[in-house]
Structure 1
Amino acid sequence: MIEVFKTNVDDAGRSQMLIGLLKKHFPVCRINFDLEDCDKVLRVEGREFCPTRVIELIKLNGHYCEILT
Structure 2
Amino acid sequence: MVEVFKTNVSTAEDAKGIIDIIEKNFNFYQVNFDLDDCDRILRVKSITGDIAADQIIYLLKQKGFKSTVLLDDFAPEVDQIL
Asked if TM exceeds 0.5, the reply is yes
**Equivalence for 2:75:** none
**Equivalence for 1:34:** 34
Which of structures 1 and 2 has the bigger CA Rg? Answer: 2
Q: How many positions carry a matched residue from both structures?
A: 69
Unaligned 5+ segments in structure 2 are: 72-82
TM-score (normalised: structure 2): 0.80
Q: Partners in 1 of 2:6 and 2:36 — Cα distance? A: 12
8 A contact 1:26–1:49 mirrored in 2 = no
1:3-53 CA-to-partner distances (Å, cap 9, x unmatched) read 000000010011000000000111121100000000000000002431110
**Equivalence for 2:12:** 12
Give the number of the structure with larger relative contact order, counting CA–CA contacts within 8 Å between residues 6 or more apart.
Answer: 1
Q: Partners in 2 of 1:48 and 1:23 — Cα distance? A: 15
**Equivalence for 2:78:** none
Unaligned 5+ segments in structure 1 are: none
Runs of 4 or more consecutive aligned structure 1 residues displaced over 4 Å after TM superposition: none
